[in-house]
Amino acid sequence: MSSTQQADLLLKKQLRELNRKGTEGFSAGLIDDEDLFKWEVTIFGPPDTFYEGGFFRAELHFPKEYPQKPPKMKFTSDIWHPNVHKNGDVCISILHEPGEDKFGYETASERWLPIHTVESILISVISMITDPNDESPANVDAAKEWRDDYNGVFKKHVQRCVRLSQENL
């Protein structure tokens, strides 16, 4: 069996499980029923955060080598967050290529492992939204605001994103 066929079977199984059991905090499905490698997700703004009430859309693009290689995740909704690049690309350790970090910041166990599922990825992203890593930011401006003016400018930026996400339902 080729790696593409294995990825196809695994993604079908994960989609079936998500649909069967339901999930808290997000919804996920295929962008196109004919392509298991492109998913659309909506992350519900976590309770007790500035993101609460938001509906943040994103896409997951899986490589043909999945689960040996991680998917890429990109928010298509505006989101202001230290660990999300301004273009929407998500920067979280579990989506980094497997193995040792050449800069020594992450251990191999923090990076992509083939045991991760769509559900574990999205739960990790929700956790990241709730508790950003401002020491290794993808969006330096958001990280600076998070540290220096959390209840002021940072909160206003996030509230704007929440409003926009509600308008674009």
Catalytic positions are: 91
Report the candidate in 8, 7, 6, 30 with the shortest Cα–Cα distance to residue 18: 30
Angle 35-124-136 (CA atoms, 0-180°, nearest 5)?
Answer: 110
- For 74, the enclosing helix (H) or strand (E) is strand 72-75
Report the candidate in 37, 83, 77 with the shortest Cα–Cα distance to residue 60: 37
